[in-house]
Structure formats: structure tokens, C-alpha cells
Structure 1
Amino acid sequence: SDKKDSKANPLGLTNVGGIFVVLLGGIVLSIFVAILEFLWHARKNHADRR
């Protein structure tokens, strides 16, 4: 076995860039869902008070 084969190459930003895209997409989606839930419950509570 060659010693060059046993070395692991460090991961650069180009290698892990997709992780950050998925993470950012999940954050945006969760904020959107939280806003929708807030509006849904606010509207429901307003209708119940009438």
C-alpha cells in the first residue's frame, strides 16, 4: 500500500457548499412556516372573539 493513498484530502468550501445551500433553504422554509402559523392562529383567535 502506498502512503499517498492513505492521506485524506481536506474538504474545501467548494466540497461542502451544498450543505450550506440545504441549511439555508431549511431556515428559509422554517421561517415561512412559522409566519404562516402565526397568521393562521391570529386570524383564528380574532374570529373566535367575535
Structure 2
Amino acid sequence: MILFFGLIGILYISNAVYTNIHIHVAEIGVRRAIGMSAGSLYKTFLWKRHITA
């Protein structure tokens, strides 16, 4: 049962990150064009998701 709920949690988190990235494709492009690293970009969107949740 714990593994089942853990799997659901992991799927929820990955879906939230994917959806957030998909919605902000243009913003991601601009940030990458001005030189933001992929790691920093990932952390920024995780942080934005955490704040808005």
C-alpha cells in the first residue's frame, strides 16, 4: 500500500513539473537565450511550482 501511494506521489510530481514546463515554453526559450543554464532553469521552475502550490 505504501509503495502504491509512493508511486502516485511520484507520478503527481513528475506530471506537475512536465505541465509547468509545457505551459511556459516561451519563457523557457527566452531564459535559455539570455544564457540561463538548464540546471538553474529547472530549479527556478521547481521553486515557482512550490510557491504557487
TM-score by length of 2: 0.48
Give the C-alpha shift of residue 26 in structure 1.
0.1
In the TM superposition, structure 1's runs of 4+ consecutive aligned residues that sit over 6 Å from their partners are: none
Q: Distance in 2 between matches of 1:35 and 1:29?
A: 10
Q: Which residue of 1 aligns with 2:6?
A: 21
Q: Distance in 2 between matches of 1:17 and 1:38?
A: 32
Q: Write 1 or 2 for the structure with the bigger share of helix.
A: 2
Paired amino acid for 2:19: A
How many residues in Structure 1 have an aligned counterpart in Structure 2? 28
Q: Distance in 1 between matches of 2:22 and 2:3?
A: 29
1:35 aligns with 2:20: yes
Paired amino acid for 1:26: L
Q: Distance in 1 between matches of 2:12 and 2:2?
A: 16
Structure number with bigger Rg: 1
Gaps of 5+ in 2: 31-53
